[in-house]
Amino acid sequence: MPPRAPRSGTPTTLPGLKPAVRSKGYWQATRAPRYSLLFALPLLLLYETLAFGLTHDTYAGVRNGADVLLKSVFVWLGGPRGLLVFGVLLVGIGLVLVIRDWRRNGGVKPNWFLGMLGESVLYALAFGGVTSFLTSVVLGRASLAMNLQEQFSLAQQLMISLGAGLYEELLFRVILVAGLVALFRRFGLGNVPAGIAATLVGALIFSAFHYVGPFGDPLELGSFAFRTMAGILFSALYLTRGFGITAWTHALYDVFLTLR
């Protein structure tokens, strides 16, 4: 009996060939590691190059607080070699995620990176106004968090701004919020309640972080509420648009605030 022909629309492959990868649209694909992490790579290179150029050191000197905090853990655990371990882990894990995603879903469309940059610029331009408005709804008055860093040069402020986008999003969204979600789920919360609780707690910790240390801002209700709302919005952006766009949005917002 001859083999039956497949029905119209039924996907088929020749023996020994893998089925073609179904292409995903821009909004879904650009959240994936091959787009998101590659998009964040220039931000990492810009920050580290500028930081090293200003301090002539891979660790000491003026740097973004989240960067110092993350690297301090590795220096405390491994001494001078801790920085090397940190760099290898940061680049290595990112590379593994990109390669795995690339193999599963195909390559990239270079022009989509321009779309991601355009998104980041638009979000950064709108971020301050939206956050200030939402803060005013909560407090009953408008508030804007300003970076009080007059003691730093313009180049240092720009470097810190780039580092905020990269390392603060890595620490407070990728590591902290994800860790809190896992913790809350362990205590019996469902996915949605755990995500909401992790976002709120993570935003409070993110806000409080800006008032710690010798370069911390003076603690004020208005700026604390603004930064808490900013943490919530950054978490929402991270969940919907991925790490790369969120990191660039944060960095560009801080840069625009510095240059205004």
**193-240: pLDDT as tens digits:** 998 999 999 999 999 988 887 667 788 888 899 999 999 999 999 988
Return the pLDDT at 141. Answer: 67
User: Per DSSP, which regions of the chain are E strands?
Assistant: none
How many domains does the chain fold into?
1
Query: Model-level pTM?
Result: 0.84
Q: Is residue 140 part of a domain?
A: yes
Return the pLDDT at 105. Answer: 92
Q: Is residue 12 part of a domain?
A: no
Q: Is residue 20 part of a domain?
A: no
Q: Is residue 163 part of a domain?
A: yes
| 221-259 and 33-55 helices, crossing angle to 10° | 80
What percentage of the chain reaches a pLDDT higher than 70?
83
Domain membership of residue 207 as a residue range: 28-259
Residue 62: closest CA among 142, 161, 137, 147: 161
The sign of the dihedral angle between the CA atoms of 108, 111, 117, 123 is: negative
CA atoms within 13 A on the CB side of 24: 17
Retrieve residue 163's tokens. Answer: 């580092």
Q: Is residue 10 part of a domain?
A: no
Grade residue 13 by pLDDT with cuts at 50, 70 and 90: very low
pLDDT digits (tens, 9 = 90+) for 163-175: 999 999 999 999 9
Retrieve residue 134's tokens. Answer: 């939402």
